[in-house]
Chains A and B, each alone.
Chain A
Amino acid sequence: MPPKRKASSILSSSPKKRLAAGKPEISSKETQSTTTHITTGAAHQTRSANHPTPKVQRTYGKRHNIERTATVLENSVAGQKDDVLSDVNLEPELSTHSPEKARKHRANALSSPKRRSKRVTNVSSPARRTCVFVEIPPLPQRKRISPSLPPTDDTPRLSSSPKTTADVVGTLHYNEPIFSKHLPPRFHPCLDAQKNAILRNLRDISKLFDEDEPPSSDTTSRKQLADLLVGTISRSEGNSCLLLGPRGSGKSKILDSCIKSLPEPPIIIRLSGWIHKNDRLAMREIAYQLGQQTGQSFSQPDEGDIYDEQNGNPFLDRPNSETIQIGMELPPSSHLPALISVIPTLSRPTIIILDAFDLFALHPRQALLYCLLDTVQGCRTSMSNKGLAVVGLTSRIDAINLLEKRVKSRFSGRVIRTTVTPTIQQWLALTRRALCPQKSTLQQDEDVLKEWDSAWDTRVSALLGDRAVVDVIKETIGFAKDSSLLFRILTNTVIQLSTHSPFPSSAALLQAVSSQRCRPLLYEVLDLPYPVLCLAIAAVHSMTSGHEFFTFEMLFSTFRDQFRASMAAPVHVDGGSIGMVRCSKSILLNAFEHLVSCRIFVPATALTGATAREFARYSTVLGRDEVRRIVEKTGQTMLKKWLSKAE
């Protein structure tokens, strides 16, 4: 691809960027390992209070020396010219992007009208069963979103007036530079504010999407849903629909934004299949939420009826007096139709949201769904009645097929689909937006803030222009098109920021990926104590000899034999014995129980009181290869030899 090659050749002009992008694989690997060291050190530091270990300090120094000397080199050798150059470099990069975009856009323009018209007919057709499947069309809007230039208000300043940025960067040389070895103290509040803003941003995922022009598939489904709800609100229709889409594709987000934009506030009842495991629980919650939103006057007599009924019936078992006092007794299921049919007669229209819709379909006889959908269907448009909308959210594709026939026939069959953000450009733009949030105003010097903002933006642009980073993000969305995964990675990256490394780096991002996406096997990371290792090796021996299940006594006798064998031929190196260390039975038993509590050893049979703990049978979850890697990491020769006997 010509634009990419061009970009990399431009990058290679500045020495620091070459360091970052020129040989991404090697450098990232190296830096990754060093950073792991450093974070370890950091963790230790925080734990052991105010005694930082000298070793850790040294690694800090080393790594930063490398990075910072690169920066200093860049600054001193190239000087201001280089800064201007790099800023100018941003421009051609942009311009190379835009023709390509234009070309694509033209291609889209050719194909899109047809598709759009189709969609329009689909939407406007009054057929009851309208299943609108929106595929991911190439977006005309995408032109505005480019990886290096999302429409935040900071960036135009950066790109449109390169001179001012150059000036700002230029002033950095005179004063204490922001890219110096440690962050100058005056920027510390900025860093903290930035971190907090980003973390808050990453929590409120919906905000991130809203800022953006939403992808067109979302627009369609949003419009459909909004039309539906508006119909319910303003024309008192009874409506039902299903929002279908994979996890993290923004079902709840679309729904919430639609509800927010409604002309008058409806009664909203939120139910979740995860906690309303049966209809009676759901009914009670409906009654409660109705009571909350309409005022006591309505729901109280209704609930009073329930209790009267139950008080009159001496055969109903009562949970206990306490719950009755709280008024939390479950209503009888016979009350269900009465409760649901009351809903359209309320003073305001109602929207019932069923999260995890598929789980409601698993309730016996689907009574709740039947009642709800029956009421929806029978909802007559008149002045006395208000509308009722039932919106189900699910990620299960065959959710409709779960419905019984009588329920299905009352369901309108509208399925609105949501899809995830389709292209890498949009993901990059999303990342960009996540990392450059709108900050709350600080009690800070205006200049300092400006300087910080521009520095931050430059660094984020550099980060997102890095080939390695783009690859990683590509990989991540190839792994799971789930924005929460990306956001977890970003959260980790941001949390690693400190005054020592105040800007996000590709190395930090890669490390975040390893800790959040494809996690390494936990026990390879930890160094396990000696008795635990011995037991793990003994368990491998037991498996090798064909006994999948073992007791502690078996492991212990294996260990004891090995220990005796190693004592019989003591090996001394430099005056110290490198034989196996003695380990008493009780200590090993202790280690054994630790492994059991960690679920590394899993009980093979149900434990009874009659079996002594030494003789309970277990199996191990650690395979031979895993144990070998763990043992090799510890570097104990005797253990390695012992393990190798099992192969």
Chain B
Amino acid sequence: MQLAELISTPFVFLCDPIALSTTTAAVKAVLDRPDVVHIHVDAVAAFTQRLLFTAILGDSCDSWDAFLHGLQVLHAQKAHSAFVITIEHVYRLKERVPDAIVPLTRLAELSQLELTVVFLSQTQWQDIKPPLGASPEPYYIDPKPLSKPDIIQTLSARYDALLSSTYGPAFEQLYTHYIAMVCEVCFPFTHDIDELAYIAAARWPGFVKPVLSSSSPPSEDTRLRLLRAFTPTITSALESLHPRLTNAADWAAANDPDPNILNQPLHPTPISQQPENGLSSLPRMSKYILVASYIASTNPAKSDLRMFGRGLDEKKRRRRGTRVQTKTKQIPSHLLGPSPFPIDRMIAILGALLEDNDVDTRIPHPEFTIPGEYTDMEISRVAIYNAVMELASMRLLIRTSPPDRIDGPPMFKSAISQDTALLLAKQLQIPLNDLLWM
């Protein structure tokens, strides 16, 4: 890496938008030499000026002067070595301590010392650069991202260090092929070597299990069958592990393969379970409330009469109004996110939903003679309000008005996704798609 020789340049800017953590690790490794004093600071952690100074000096000080004096002392103690300060995630510095950027970039001239400040960033210099040319231009380094063959090689080379003690040297060949397969599947989706290693580590125990009984390396044929059997599971591993929907150990346990997988015909991949967020355990009325709130959040208020109005001209119902043709296509509201609604509106919609879908399940009550009277009673129960508050505390509804406001109805908005809403509606047998405005 260039950096090793660059320790004579006062200010270096290193930008890597793909995998900053890998680059940081590489930089640390390069600078880990006896003749270099290397101080690494993560700007995420150093979010105030004082913390920044403490992180660099290991000693608390309150101003730039004190910091520079401390730096001079520190430099004098380690006189004969190069002095490098690397700062990671510089953008955070810009957000949190914007005043620090100019002095840091001029640190060498301010402190009159020979030192190097290296900024490691995911963003480019022009996004960070202070105005009016206050900072000197940095020396740029653009690390090249790792290519696929490089990643395969690097990961395969780790077998000796990581797995050799557990599995013995017999499976090294297989591991190389396995890594190649994992990269083949996952490389288009992520170029971060750490992510790929994580996915590979999660699948490997299950992958090697069918052939583990024999301590000799598997034959060519077995290997091919193995690879073919496991390729689909890699995709599902990617889908759940790359966004960290679960962790590697849990995933490996959940997807532990049948030891006889090789002798079975290829079966289609199990459809990954949609996480339900514990919604199935909710009471029936809460589910109704959620669906009603989703409708209230998604539909415009003026469409309610059309959607739920029960009048003479029931034919007009569920017809979208003729809109004025605008130049820009209007965006469906479910893509723009939920909008807040007053609780009264939601309860009215809830009433309409209950009247349409819930009447048949009720025990007959002869004392209610007017149509809809039972529903009216049902929606004016305290239990409804109680359920709303409970859902709000579960963050399935979000209260947008301050809790101490008395005038006007409290405002809420729905926090469930469309998929969840459709799932709930299906359980309640509500034709939700017909009830959504657009």
Residues of A within 8 A of B (CB): 39-40, 43-44, 46-49, 51, 53, 55, 195-196, 199-200, 202-203, 247, 252, 270, 272, 274-277, 281, 284-285, 288, 319, 322-323, 326, 328, 484-485, 488, 491-492, 495, 515-516, 519, 522-523, 525-531, 545-547, 551, 553-554, 557, 581, 583-584, 586-587, 589-590, 597-600, 610-612, 614-615
Contacts and interface: CB of A to CB of B under 8 A. Distances in A.
B154 A199 contact: no
B189 A529 contact: yes
Nearest to A593: B243
A285 B338 contact: no
Given A488-B137, A530-B189, A48 B146 contact: yes
Nearest to B413: A610
B438 interface: no
Contact of A44 (B123, B146, B238): B146
B243 A491 contact: no
Interface residues of B, number: 75
Given A53-B153, A525-B142, A530-B189, 12 more contacts: A48-B153, A51-B153, A199-B8, A247-B136, A272-B106, A284-B63, A284-B65, A328-B66, A495-B2, A519-B140, A523-B17, A599-B91
A584 B62 contact: no
A531 B243 CA distance: 12
Q: B103, B144, B329, B413 — which one has the most chain A CB atoms within 10 A of its CB?
A: B144
B62 A587 contact: no
A495 B331 CA distance: 53
B351 interface: no
Nearest to A523: B17
A599 B189 contact: no
B252 to A, nearest CB: 19
Interface string B119-162: 00011100100000110110110111111011001100100000
Interface of B: 1-2, 5-6, 8-10, 15, 17-18, 26, 60-66, 68-69, 91, 99, 102-103, 106, 109-110, 112, 114, 122-124, 127, 133-134, 136-137, 139-140, 142-147, 149-150, 153-154, 157, 188-191, 238-240, 242-243, 245, 327-329, 331-332, 334-338, 398, 400, 413, 415, 417
A615 B239 contact: no
Contact of B10 (A203, A528, A557): A203
Contacts of A277: 99
Given A48-B146, A547-B331, A319 B109 contact: no
Contact of A203 (B9, B140, B240): B9
Given A199-B8, A530-B188, A275 B62 contact: no
Contact of B65 (A285, A491, A614): A285
A140 to B, nearest CB: 33
A557 B438 CA distance: 14
A124 to B, nearest CB: 34
B239 A584 contact: yes
A44 B9 contact: no
B188 A195 contact: no
B50 to A, nearest CB: 10
15 contacts: A51-B153, A247-B136, A277-B99, A495-B6, A529-B189, A531-B189, A545-B328, A551-B337, A553-B335, A586-B245, A587-B242, A590-B243, A597-B122, A612-B337, A614-B337
Contact of B243 (A200, A323, A587): A587
Given A526-B18, A590-B243, A516 B140 contact: yes
Contact of A328 (B63, B102, B142, B157): B63
B238 to A, nearest CB: 7
Contact of B337 (A195, A523, A615): A615
A598 B18 CA distance: 9
A599 B20 CA distance: 14
A199 B8 CA distance: 7
B125 to A, nearest CB: 8
Contacts of B332: 557
A291 to B, nearest CB: 11
B57 to A, nearest CB: 12
Given A281-B65, A590-B243, A43 B189 contact: no
A516 B139 contact: yes
A44 B1 CA distance: 9
Top 6 nearest A-B pairs by Cβ distance?
A615-B337, A546-B328, A275-B64, A586-B243, A530-B188, A553-B335
